Amino acid sequence: MIGFNIMNSTLISGIIIWNDRRHGMFEQILVGPFTRAQYILSNVYTIGIIGLVSAGLITAIGYPIFFTSVQFSVLTIPLVVFASMTGAILFGSIASIISTRLKSSEGFNVVINTVFLFFAFVSTAFYPAQGAPPILATAFYLNPLTYLVDVVRAGIFGNFTGTVGYEMVVLTVLAVVFFGIATKLLSRLEI
C-alpha cells in the first residue's frame, strides 16, 4: 500500500504542472523572481514531502495491525525513506512528463489514469511475482512500481537480500533518468 499510495499521490506533480499551464500560473510564476529551475525544484520538494508523509501515515496506521511481522532495525527506516523519496521522484517525473506533452485536459486525464492503472495492477503491489504466469511475472519486472514496492516491503519486514540491492539500483537509475527527462521538458516548456 505504501508504494501504491506514493505512486498515486505523486500524480499531484503532473496535476500542478497541468493546472499551472492551463490557468496561466506558469507564466505568472516565471514573470516573477522565479526561474524554471526553482519551479522544477518546488515540484520535487512537493512530491518528496507527499511521498514521505503518505509512507509515514500508512506505516503508522498499519503498524498496529502487522506489528508481529514487522522487523524494524537500523536499516529499515532509511530504506523506507529512500524508497519513498526515490519512488516519489520517479512517479512525479512520469506525471510531469505526461503533463508537459499533452494539450487537452481529456487526453491528460485518460493517459495519466491509464498509465498509473497499468502500473498499479501489473506490479507486485497486490500479488507476488512468484507463481504468476511467466509473461505476467516478466511484465512485473518491467514496471517501476514493482521495484518500489519490493524495496519498501524489504524495509518494513527486514527481508534484505541481494535482489533488494539490485532493485534499489534500478529504482535509482529510473528516477534519475525520468527526472532528467522531466526537467528537460519543463525547461523547454513554452509560455
Domain containing 29 equals 2-187
Q: What is the mean pLDDT of the chain?
A: 83
Alpha-carbon dihedral angle through residues 103, 106, 108, 114, given to the nearest 10 degrees: -150
Q: What are 4's three cell numbers?
A: 501504491
Q: How many domains does the chain have?
A: 1
Q: pLDDT confidence of 177, banded at 50, 70, 90?
A: very high
For 59-105, the pLDDT digits (tens) are 788 777 766 666 677 777 888 888 888 988 898 889 888 888 888 88
Residues 139, 171: Cα–Cα separation, whole Å: 16
Q: pLDDT confidence of 174, banded at 50, 70, 90?
A: very high
> What does the pLDDT read at residue 168?
93
Question: Residue 16 phi/psi, 5° resolution?
Answer: -60, -50
Q: Which helix (H) or strand (E) holds 13?
A: helix 11-22
Whole-model pTM? 0.84
Q: pLDDT confidence of 191, banded at 50, 70, 90?
A: low
Closest by CA to 143, choosing from 168, 113, 110, 121, is 121
Better-predicted residue by pLDDT, 146 or 2: 146
Count of alpha carbons within 13 Å of 56, Cβ hemisphere only?
9
For 32-68, the pLDDT digits (tens) are 888 877 887 788 788 778 777 877 887 788 777 766 6
- In percent, how much of the chain has pLDDT > 70? 96
Q: How far lies 131's CA from each of 4, 41, 124, 154, 168, in Å?
A: 21, 41, 12, 19, 23
What would the DSSP string read from start to end of 107-155?
Answer: HHHHHHHHHHHHHHHSSTTTS-STTS-HHHHHHHTTSHHHHHHHHHHHH
- As a whole number of angstroms, the longest Cα–Cα distance in the chain is 55
> What does the pLDDT read at residue 68?
67
